[in-house]
Structure 1
């Protein structure tokens, strides 16, 4: 068994030192960023991975371990890499434009050596290799990863690993189920929005286990009200933003054909659109014929040849 290969959500971070700081402050509200440093980090230049959390752009937290796939742990250890995990404002309190502003501000902080500055304040001295940068994320985090690839200068990000990314807004009906759960009623949604949306409120972290914002995400999409708060515009979704860019880093997308939260066809459509818009693009779509949203959370490379192959390809792009 490879080292660190049998982690569960409860033990996901046991082999890392966990640090927290913030990359942005709005009034009194600090938007946090977590940093995972392997306990066995070796001397020398340290590759970087930025990983965005999922949650439908409505719920989630950067250090919520249940949504960090088991394969990520040995993947980071064997590549002697640290993971930087930003939060961002969440909808419906925040619009899509707000979220993309947070994304841009995170990258400004990152390239202004925000991680180095924080580490120096903790008397930690690492040689971070900004030329070897992987950007990843699942679901809404995949959205953030792709939007990073579409908006950052060419060559800055070496590779993107997007797990079942939101490339377009969800098109669901109230009768649809997601992960076996029913969409809450319109009455429930109306009451929730009446108590939730407060002028000036900022939410940038919401634990799915202790809030009902996961149900809120389902209801907003199931009743066609997500864009009422998120907004509309070409740049807000990768499926249309890709039409106006000249580059995208080498990208692989993981998706299950039976995904009930993010339609598999959305990834197919994005890959086709990206290949059409960007000449000589290196983009791959790895898929599982069985499985639902989050199908890869407990997967191990030794049990999944396709996963091993895709991660080797990511390494070849990221660390070249």
Structure 2
């Protein structure tokens, strides 16, 4: 994570120099807006028509993250948006433990409904773009979806649960958080962290504070905010209990809901200490068996969590994956 923290200033500078940004609420919960960032390349002609869309859902184990999260954004993804002359849409969503995993999935569902609101109404993605670039016309039948880690999981869940998203291709990197796998992707308690440890006390204290403020929600916690809490859940094996027992967090339920899937590009680092390669292998194998007609590119490379973050769009396996995405986007 230290390397990710060090890259934040450079990624922020890239985004500010190459994109115009507007933040818009796509829903409101308990009088608090839940926003999406819309980033429009400065190189995009003001009268462009049929502009494609890349939706990017941030990671952070459903506990932390921002929209977008500069520490985690892959450089090649920035290049892809500009190369395709697309707009980049980065939704926030409610976060654990103030909210439940089911409420997070509800937010993603509502986000997609907002994206596809007709331009004739005052809400929706096209209407939001009209406020800053009235000459741009979006092509909402050319929507690609990308996410890493928890964002990759929510991207897979979009493919399974929300066909109204109309997504043409999904990029899901180190994405597995399903709670019903043979190879459990959520970290178990470390042997070095006994029950009652300082990490447990930190979690318990935070949960006590949350309980005192029912209805409070949190939607944005940029790195390193909540980092200490998140790593405490890894060490104690308590992240799984925070995700809860909502059946929508299981692969079994997801696969029962989808008759078909859009093309998928899944990537996984062999040495990833957070999302085990075996869990991703298991999910990929089950998808291939259940959906044999779905184009699925599975990239496995040496690397840890954040695989390929600093690669360019022309580098090695990224170039192959991007070619796959462009074929269907």
- Name the CA distance, whole Å, in 1 between partners of 2:132 and 2:289: 47
Residues 154 and 247, structure 1, Cα contact 8 Å, conserved in 2? no
- Name the CA distance, whole Å, in 1 between partners of 2:191 and 2:87: 39
Alpha-carbon deviation of 1:240?
Answer: 4.8
Two-structure CA RMSD over aligned residues (Å): 2.2
Task: Please identify runs of 4+ aligned residues in structure 1 that moved more than 4 A.
Answer: none
- Name the CA distance, whole Å, in 1 between partners of 2:327 and 2:59: 25
List per-residue Cα deviations over 1:248-296 (Å, max 9, x = no partner). Answer: 110011210110111111211111111122231211211212x110121
Distance 1:40 1:215, change over 3 A: same
Give the TM-score of the pair, scaled to structure 2. Answer: 0.86
* Aligned: 1:193 with 2:207: yes
- Name the CA distance, whole Å, in 1 between partners of 2:201 and 2:162: 41
* Aligned: 1:296 with 2:308: yes
What SS class does the counterpart of residue 125 from structure 1 fall into? coil
Aligned residue pairs total 303
**Correspondence list, 1:127-166, <5 A:** 127-153=137-163, 156-166=166-176
Partner in structure 1 of residue 22 of structure 2: 19
Give the TM-score of the pair, scaled to structure 1. Answer: 0.88
- Name the CA distance, whole Å, in 2 between partners of 1:239 and 1:55: 23
Give ranges in structure 2 of 5+ residues lacking alignment.
1-8, 119-123, 180-184
Structure 1 window deviating more from structure 2 (265-274 vs 8-17): it is 8-17
- Name the CA distance, whole Å, in 2 between partners of 1:84 and 1:151: 20
Structure 1 window deviating more from structure 2 (127-136 vs 240-249): it is 240-249
Distance 1:127 1:225, change over 3 A: same
What SS class does the counterpart of residue 119 from structure 1 fall into? helix
Residues 167 and 239, structure 1, Cα contact 8 Å, conserved in 2? no
List per-residue Cα deviations over 1:138-187 (Å, max 9, x = no partner). Answer: 1111011111111222892110001111342443233279xxxxx96212
**Correspondence list, 1:221-240, <5 A:** 221-238=234-251, 240=253
